[in-house]
Amino acid sequence: MSDAGTPADSPAAEYRVLARKYRPQTFEDLVGQETLVRTLRNAFAQNRIHHAFVLTGVRGVGKTTTARIVAKGLNCTGPDGSGGPTMTPCGVCENCRAIAEDRHVDVLEMDAASRTGVDDVREIIESVRYRPVSARYKVYIVDEVHMLTRNAFNALLKTLEEPPEHVKFIFATTEIRKVPITVLSRCQRFDLRRIDVAVLTGLFERVCAAEGVEAEAEALRMIARAADGSARDGLSILDQAMALATGPVTAAQVRDMLGLVDRERVYDLFEAVMAGRIPDALDVLRMLYDGGADPVVVIQDLMELTHAVTRMKAAPKAAGANDLGEAERDRGRRLAETLAVPALTRSWQMLSKGLGEVQNATAPVAAAEMVLIRLGYAAELPDPADLIRLLTDGSGAVAGGSAAQSGSGQAAAAPVASAVPPRPGAPEPAPVGPPPVDPDEPPAYVTDGPPPDGVDEEQPPAMPATFREMVELFHARGEPVLSAQLAGSVHCVSYAPGRVDLRPQAGADPRLTAQLSAHLGRWTGQSWDIRISRDAGEPTLREQAGMARAERFARVAEHPVVSRVLDLFPGARIEEITAPPPADPVGEADEDEAMDDADTVVLDDEGSGGGHPESKANQA
């Protein structure tokens, strides 16, 4: 670290912010960019220095600083004035001091954000023809080069590809994707990485030592995390923290200054939510909010903690991450041992969706509370894989993916038979197997769609023997309106081929009987007598199908597997039962068994018993 500014004893000396005072002056001072330094060192050692470089990375990682160091290394003459290009500029020769003070006539810095046009680039093109005044190389540093216009880039291409031997270009940008590929192909590209939290913490410790300021290690870690990989941002925050503190820089002061959430409270909130203790979680959130915490920051911290715990769970060696304190690592390890990966990934997805809701809400704290409530209820859901295994062979465990509400923090695990008491009046448990299927149940009646392929309008069909066959005839002959009306709005009082007594419901078409007679007579070649009756008659075909469906659902609900699922998910109801045909031909005796093995029972939650989502139990 160097202070290359105005001498401290100068009358014009003013306080210099830490980001400028400790700006790296050599490659040894540059932190977190080992790959860049190694590549440039080899290039200088082998005299393979490219004529154009492009440096990219987030703000504050050292792009412009690196460009100045390269310029000093190219033009350094050493203390005795006889040195050549070097990776270790002396910092005392006239060229080094002039470049550090931004007053060298041959090292030109241009801000492309304010000089974006062709005329600005034309000045560079005209000046590259002239040799440097006092330096070895004329160096052009263009900051935020992606802001140049398309025409400006095009004007620069020829000069950039074949510059004079005494000219070097160094471009810096935070938006590398906006730089034309034609420019990138003429440059050596260096990607400056975000600086690790541990590296930044070490840098801040050295700065504090140089400034004679005491600071807590946790406070410096907070600043490093808030810097988000940027040394300049971190030094600016540290400067503010030093101005705030009357003594040592403490974690509490930094937390209040940045509006951060107490990490211990974040762990308390996370544990309460994942254990399903929603009242405790809401109390912690309200306490944080009253203390000045932003609800958006709270959700972001929960996401960060979820990610850290998941990493510890998936890769235990990552538990020693340097951006966590020892107490946080210990609590994180305990959570990783307790929580299951499905519960953690589910929490991440819900927090990620909830973050957008909190950011866009008119009442952020209310939105944050709703996110925690959803997360708390979801934490009580059993793991789907364990639930299926438990229902099929009893080997699974009902674990809500959350820490138990007891003090031990262990996940709850118990067989369904012991965890859920049998419902009153339920039949005795039977050996677990697929739910029964009624092979005699009539298929669901279809009342729309085109007539099936192969129907011959000219060939008279067989006389329909039942009312159902008569309705199916209308559907097959392409009369979906009449077919639907007969199936859903007409009661059959009596039926015989050629004579039908019907009781239409209110609102039926008054021309119904005439239409039926005309169509049936034309299709069958016989005259039909269709009469309206006042007798009640049979239920409509649609009502019959509904009653058969309800009866079948009731029988399936009595099966031990389905009964246990209904007990586990209060308020759930059977929504659908499907029986796909077997893939391979089977004998008649095995047909029902094969159909049973393929049955799928779909349960739909009515929302009355705890807010569980839709669940499916596949018996295979």
266-269 contact pairs (CB < 8 A, 24+): 266/298, 266/301, 266/302, 266/305, 267/305, 267/328, 267/331, 267/335, 269/298, 269/302, 269/372
Q: For the domain with range 32-191, which CATH number is right: 3.40.30.10, 3.40.50.2300, 1.20.210.10, 3.40.50.300?
A: 3.40.50.300
Q: Which CATH class is domain 197-258?
A: mainly alpha
Residue 394 scores a pLDDT above 60: no
For the stretch 541-569, pLDDT in tens is 998 888 988 888 888 888 888 888 888 77
For the stretch 588-618, pLDDT in tens is 444 444 434 444 555 555 443 443 333 333 3
Q: What is the pLDDT of residue 582?
A: 61
Q: What is the pLDDT of residue 613?
A: 38
Paired tokens of 304: 């960060």
Q: Are 357 and 255 in contact (CB under 8 A)?
A: no
Q: Please report which confidence band the pLDDT of residue 419 belongs to, taking 50, 70 and 90 as the band edges.
A: very low
Residue predicted with more confidence, 580 or 587: 580
Q: What is the CATH number of domain 437-543?
A: 3.30.300
Lowest mean pLDDT among 117-131, 280-294, 416-430: 416-430
Residue 262 scores a pLDDT above 80: no
Residue 474 scores a pLDDT above 50: yes
Residue predicted with more confidence, 589 or 264: 264
Whole-angstrom distance, CA of residue 18 vs CA of residue 210 = 11
Q: What is the pLDDT of residue 434?
A: 43
Q: What is the pLDDT of residue 324?
A: 60
* Highest mean predicted confidence (pLDDT) among 62-71, 398-407, 418-427: 62-71
Mean per-residue pLDDT, 214-223: 86
Mean per-residue pLDDT, 571-577: 80
Mean per-residue pLDDT, 186-198: 86
234: Cβ–Cβ under 8 A, 6 or more apart, which residues? 60, 200, 203, 204, 223, 224, 226, 227
For the chain, percent of residues with pLDDT exceeding 90:
1
Q: What is the CATH number of domain 263-384?
A: 1.20.272.10
Q: What is the pLDDT of residue 106?
A: 86
Mean per-residue pLDDT, 171-187: 88
Q: Decide if 32-191 and 263-384 have a common fold.
A: no
Mean per-residue pLDDT, 137-154: 88
Pairing label, strands 572-578, 615-618? unpaired
Mean per-residue pLDDT, 101-119: 84
* Highest mean predicted confidence (pLDDT) among 11-25, 35-49, 308-322: 35-49
Mean per-residue pLDDT, 212-237: 86
Q: What is the pLDDT of residue 586?
A: 46
State the chain's maximal CA–CA distance in angstroms. 124
Query: Is the pTM above the cut of 0.85?
Result: no
Q: What is the pLDDT of residue 326?
A: 62
Q: What is the pLDDT of residue 428?
A: 47
Q: What is the pLDDT of residue 403?
A: 39
Residue 133 scores a pLDDT above 80: yes
HEC-encoded secondary structure of 108-121:
EEEECCCCCCHHHH
* Highest mean predicted confidence (pLDDT) among 3-12, 228-237, 440-449: 228-237
Residue 579 scores a pLDDT above 80: no
Read off φ and ψ for residue 599, nearest 5 degrees: -65, 145
Domains of the chain: which residue ranges? Answer: 32-191, 197-258, 263-384, 437-543, 559-618
3-state secondary structure of 245: coil
Residue predicted with more confidence, 400 or 68: 68
Residue predicted with more confidence, 19 or 321: 19
Q: What is the pLDDT of residue 370?
A: 92
Cα-to-chain-centroid distance, residue 327: 28
